[in-house]
Chain A
Amino acid sequence: MIEFLKFLKGYVCIRVSGFSPERFMNLCGNRNILLWNIRKEEDVYYMCLSIAGFYRLKPIVKKTGTKVAIVKRCGLPFFMPGMWKRKIFILGFLLAAAFWFQTSRYIWAIEIQGNFMITEDIMMDFLAENQVFTGMKKGKLNIEELEQNIRKEFYQVTWTSAKLEGTKLTIQIKENDLLDMEEAGKREDAMTASNLVAEQDGTVVSMIVREGVPQVTIGQEIKKGDVLVTGNVPVYQEDGTIRKYRYCNADADIVVQHVLPVKETLSLYYEKKNYTGREKKQYYLELFGKTIRFGKNKEPFRSCDSIESRNQLQLLRDFYLPVIYGNRTYREYYVEERKYTNEESKALIQDEYKKIVESLEEKGVQIIEKNVKIETNDLKWVLSGELTVQEKTGKNVAIEEQIFTDAEQSGEEVTEDE
């Protein structure tokens, strides 16, 4: 620390020779001039003292009759004049500092974490609508308002946190995984009364009714849209007439059996991309949101794929700069028409069939009977047939509007009866 202060204020190393250097040192001491690194080599003394001290040496030198010569100048005051000569260097240094300072006042990167259902594009569009974009001033960003807006706009977001680190804005969100189930639950809760309505044609195989009055029996054929279980539960009077209706949400497990047609075709001919191995790279640079492309701004081949890589310049861990560089690689290919061999096509079509069956099983559909055949002609393979399946059906449909009309009617009936 002391060394640094000495460097900052500057000091000189002097050579003292003559009749009595000891007296010279004593006088320096008396006048409060600090001397350091005093050493003797043969007949001369070397020592260091501050610049201010050096200017006060003159009377002492006169008095003692010694000779003083500067050996070395050290420190910033001697260094700076040399620096002033290098104007361009200083200018560059100042400009770099100004650039650093200025760019650090903007946001140059936005990262979104924890999003599964909301894609990054949607989020970015939303941010742009809210005047949050790369290249905006940090001062204009209101983090709390942004967090609130995100929660308001996206109902599936249960928690958000936005933080600004360096020039990077990180938005962390947490989405509600159980949203669909909750939504369904809410919908049911919102309805005061509902019917269970068939979602497809078929024959009722089994029925477990928990709430409501069943309108169908096992073995009955039903059509899509038929009411399976009604939420109007009649309350009878002693004489067997209906006194009123009680309304509830119909709830039942109803399994219907129906025939599901399956059809899958596979063309024998297909197009295959053959890469020629010719590649071309196009470099680009993005400065402050503007793109500069090097080379021709066209696709270099008639048919090609392109792969893009993108990098953002970064000074420190979180100090992103508004400079993005990258390249786009074009790979040329030509299309060749090819024909599947018998084995290939058979395997492919069986794969397709397997996928259909698996997707059905995933949905909880039980396959009772399979009746599928594979035919072939010169152009294509056709898989066709029918699957007899059993699956759960029933969708709650509100009967809110009926409530009042029915209630009024029943009310009238009741008064008439009385």
Chain B
Amino acid sequence: MTKKELLVNSLKLPRDTMLGASILTITGNREIWLENYKGILEYTPGQILLQAKTCQICIEGKRLSIDYYTNEDMKISGCICGIRYL
């Protein structure tokens, strides 16, 4: 555990803003809401690769589409098969 993590834990600060962790909200296997990311690296109907602050997130599925995309959050819909952290 790093010093920063210790500090956040002991002060009970929100982890997402302090550590730059991404938040994923998944409804079934159809929709994902994403917050805290830097940008899109790659987008194909089969996979979406996102750059988060500490890692990369790869969302795999079929017929993936981005319902909306802003600097803060985005929504992906389609048939989701898996999520990988790279």
Q: Which of A's residues lie within 8 Å of B, judged by CB?
A: 21-23, 25-26, 28-30, 32, 34-40, 45, 47
Contact = CB atoms under 8 A, between A and B. Distances in A.
Contacts of A45: 43
Closest 7 A/B residue pairs (Cβ): A26-B39, A38-B66, A36-B68, A39-B65, A35-B69, A29-B71, A22-B40
Contact of A22 (B41, B45, B67, B68): B41
Interface of B: 38-45, 65-71
17 contacts: A22-B41, A26-B39, A28-B69, A30-B71, A34-B69, A34-B70, A36-B67, A37-B66, A37-B67, A38-B65, A38-B66, A38-B67, A38-B68, A39-B66, A40-B44, A40-B45, A40-B65
Q: Is the interface of B mostly helix, strand, loop or mixed?
A: strand
Given A40-B44, A40-B45, A22 B69 contact: no
A214 to B, nearest CB: 104
A37 B40 contact: no
Nearest to B44: A40
Contacts of B43: 21-22, 25, 38, 40, 45
A39 B39 CA distance: 16
Contacts of A38: 43, 65-69
Contacts of A29: 39, 69-71
A36 B69 contact: yes
Given A30-B71, A40-B44, A22 B39 contact: yes
A37 B67 CA distance: 4
Contacts of B71: 29-30, 32
Nearest to A28: B69
A389 to B, nearest CB: 97
B78 to A, nearest CB: 9
